[in-house]
Structure 1
Amino acid sequence: MPVDGTPLRAAVVGTGGIVTDSHLPALRAHSARVRLVAAVDVDDASLSAFLRTAHAALGERVAGYRELAAMLAAERPDLVLVGTPPALHATQTVAALRAGAWVLCEKPLCLSLAEYDTIAAEEGTEGTEGPGGTQSAAGSGPQPGAVDGPFASCVFQHRYGSGAAHARDLLRSGRLGPPLVAHCQTTWYRDAAYYSVPWRGRWATEGGGPTVGHGIHQMDLLLHLLGDWREIRAMAGRLAHDVESEDVSTALVRFESGALATVVNSVLSADEVSRIRIDCADATVELTHLYGHGNDDWAYTPAPHAHGLRAPDAHWRTPAADVPSSHAAQLGGFLDAMEKGERPPGSGRDARRTLELLAALYKSAFTAAPVHAGELSPRDPFYCAMHGNHPDWAPREHC
């Protein structure tokens, strides 16, 4: 990996809307640190259009490839950005890791905990841990505090930006008081035309419904703010769309801190909104937005007992600089980690925790039983697939 100030070499896999509209502007924002050298897509028309757009946006010509393996062998990129349909994420991430590239992949990083653990097995090592958790010999391998990548992270851009960083700092510092009650809402609307895309609404190609495909962002942000979860009780339904997976899910989550949260994920809601609200002992913090947020989307309300006792804590005020949540904000943090030789945010245990919560939500919803953190071992059917081979939900060939 370059250490002399030379920009890192990046490649994109997939050239559809998410890459063109989000990853390309992120790369442009960090053009002094990273250079796009290649793009991969099996659709020649999409690839050609992207190459023209990338040249216009970045001022450099980008090599086009139809096969990931050929690109990895020819270009040897430092970083691979994956923006293909979900079913391809795991295999493409593993291929990039094996080629020595760090990976930033669109959500979901993979479709099951089993796939996640396969990806993790291909990552580099941290500290003095060697492959398989063995201790490296003195004077060889990674040294304490160092990492030996590559690593893979999931795109969770809602964690990023000044508003989210400020809220997390306040919550972790205790300045709002202990978190008590929370609400996490992703209530969007998707019509039949949306599900006419062949890979949508199917377990094998999307991994689930709005829980995995939409609500994952707010659920990840909730975990980012509140920390580890302990227990979940859930329900799910297929209420309006002719799909394999759910089109709505609800859950109650207990956190290790003792805080309780409600979660709602829907693609049936005409009044679309994304919302997180956390009621703490001394204040409520609330985020209301749709697909991205800035400082003005965060609100802090002092608890009634605070009125007349003291003015709202000056620390609650949002930062003067407004950095919106975005792919560019996350890419900046990812590049920082690469350049410092650190595991990037949104990877490792952190990313697995979010995926485990999703799998646990499905298990609880489909079995009508509470699920606890750490319960989904490789022997559990919900470890291998979000539908858990449940006869009412799994595709017929899996039952």
Structure 2
Amino acid sequence: MTSRTYTCAIVGTGAIAGAHARAIAALPARARLVGAVDVEPDRVAAFGAEWGVSAHPTLADLLADRRPDLVHLCTPPGTHLSLALECLAAGVSPVVEKPPVLSLADLDRLRAAEAEAGVPVATIFQHRFGSGAVRLRRLLAEGALGRPLLASADTLWFRDDDYFAVPWRGKWELEGGGPTMGHGIHQFDLLLSVLGPWSEVSAVAARQARPTDTEDVSAALVRFDSGAVATVVNSLVSPRQTSRLRFDFEHATVELEHLYGYSDADWRLTPAPGAPDPTPAWGSDPVGVPSGHTAQLAAVLDALDEGRTPPVSTADTRMTLEFVAAVYASAFTGRVVVRGEITEGHPFHAGMAGGGAPWPPRRSGPSDSRVGRTT
């Protein structure tokens, strides 16, 4: 394997940009930050001074000044597609924060541009890359855990009304959705990376309390091609915050509880009575790698060094984003949605709200607890 140092730039210097900058700095022999972009001059100037890199007002200006290997897109979700297409046209790989785009139609357009440019796109789903998740997928593939039977993924977070004062938050056309799209996606993407292809979804969604156009709660019942069944709950109204996953296999229960990132200490394995004990295998390598942007960036650079498609590929991303669309489609129509159903021409292919949420647009006012299911 040939290793090199990759140059990186960051577009959008808000809060999440710091996680990307720290990940690059944590891999000094392999990655180097060379530039930053933001439409707010003072903010990008301060970010550039903090990290010792050039500051630019636009992506076009950055690309004219230098040609980085990777451009990390840390802007609001509604801007991701146009910026990623601009990167691909310049022959530069975009590394896109979640959610990567606002719809399956946008993702299909991005995948077509990726294929035409011959330049890979990676989506940030950093929970796949902690050593606990890597080990879990390996042991499942090796048969040490037996068949997956039942699972759950709960993202129970709390965001107050002031959180939605940011203009792009809580709007379908700018954020793409609520906690199903922008918050719980981390947990259930990890669930999907372990359990593989899902086959059907039945869901509800509700706007329970927050001044938002989107849902603030959703819940889904999911069936997988393997026969496993799972529940997925996403919330922004839960005062005791937690991110929780549980997998019940034939030979063991594997649990993870954390909030915004996990370490090996956050995992727990309970052997099934009378079954082969997978505990010794659970303690094997890899160990000691927390989930986060550094772990995923290292995996991206490994793939580039080896000439492989970097994770998380647009093909992997599509299965997760199709799941998001299926949750909304089921919640808003009252139907079970099967994988592969939402294609061009389907109301939920062009946007996660389909023909519109079953509650009126609203940015303020009293609570509205009607569930997002129509008959």
Shorter chain as normaliser: what TM range? over 0.9
Unaligned runs of 5+ in 1: 56-61, 125-130, 132-147
Distance in 2 between residues matched to 1:320 and 1:256, nearest whole Å: 28
Counterpart in 1 of 2:83?
Answer: 92
1:345 aligns with 311
Once the two structures are TM-superposed, the CA of residue 196 in structure 1 deviates from its matched residue by: 0.8
Q: Residue 221 of structure 1 aligns to a residue in which SS?
A: helix
Separation in 2, partners of 1:382, 1:200: 20
Deviation beyond 6 Å, 4+ runs, structure 1: none
The equivalent of 2:351 in structure 1 is 385
Q: Offset at 1:120?
A: 0.6
The 1:374/1:5 distance shift into structure 2, 3 A limit, reads closer
Residues 150-189 of structure 1: matches in 2 within 5 Å? 150-189=119-158
Equivalent residue pairs, number: 362
* Letter aligned with residue 297 of structure 1: D
The match for 1:29 is 26
Shift of 1:331: 0.3
Distance across 1 between alignment mates of 2:282 and 2:299: 24
Cα shift readout 1:5-57 (whole Å, capped 9, x = no counterpart): 6522211101111112x1111000112112211110000111011012112xx
Q: Counterpart in 2 of 1:67?
A: 58
CA distance in 2, matches of 1:361, 1:76: 39
> 2 CA distance for matches of 1:320 and 1:76?
35
What does residue range 10-89 of structure 1 map to in structure 2 within 5 Å? 10-20=8-18, 22-55=19-52, 62-89=53-80
SS in 2 for 1:193: helix
Residue 313 (structure 1) shift: 4.0
The aligned amino acid for 2:113 is E
2:113 is matched with 122
Whole-angstrom CA distance in 2 between matches of 1:392 and 1:268: 19
In the alignment, the residues of structure 1 paired with residue 75 and residue 303 of structure 2 have an alpha-carbon distance, to the nearest angstrom, of 24
The letter for the 1-side match of 2:203 is A
Identity, % of aligned positions? 49
Unaligned runs of 5+ in 2: 363-375
Shift of 1:63: 1.3
Query: RMSD of the TM alignment (CA)?
Result: 1.7
- Contact residue 198 and residue 225 of structure 2 kept, 8 A: yes
The secondary structure found in structure 1 opposite 2:161 is coil
Amino acid at match of 2:8: A
The answer as to whether partners of 1:163 and 1:319 remain within 8 angstroms in 2 is no
State the TM-score, normalized to the length of structure 2: 0.93
Q: Is the 8 A contact 1:295 1:318 kept in 2?
A: no
Name the SS for the 1:305 alignment partner.
coil
1:328 aligns with 2:319: no
**1:200 corresponds to:** 169
Amino acid aligned to 2:328:
Y
Matching residue's letter, 1:169: R
Aligned 8 A contact 1:65 1:71 in 2: yes
Per-residue deviation, residues 287-328 of structure 1 (Å, max 9, x unmatched): 11100011111111011233xxx6554112254730100100
**Which range is displaced more, 268-277 or 296-305?**
296-305
Asked if 2 retains the 8 angstrom alpha-carbon contact of 1:14 and 1:82, the reply is yes
Aligned residue type for 1:9:
T
Out of 282, 285, 290, the position equivalent to 1:316 is 282
More moved, 387-396 vs 215-224: 387-396
Contact 1:109 1:153 in 2 (8 A): no
Q: Which has the higher contact order (CA 8 A, sep 6+)?
A: 2
Correspondent of 1:113 among 104, 111, 115? 104
| Preserved CA contact (<8 Å) 1:15 1:47 | yes
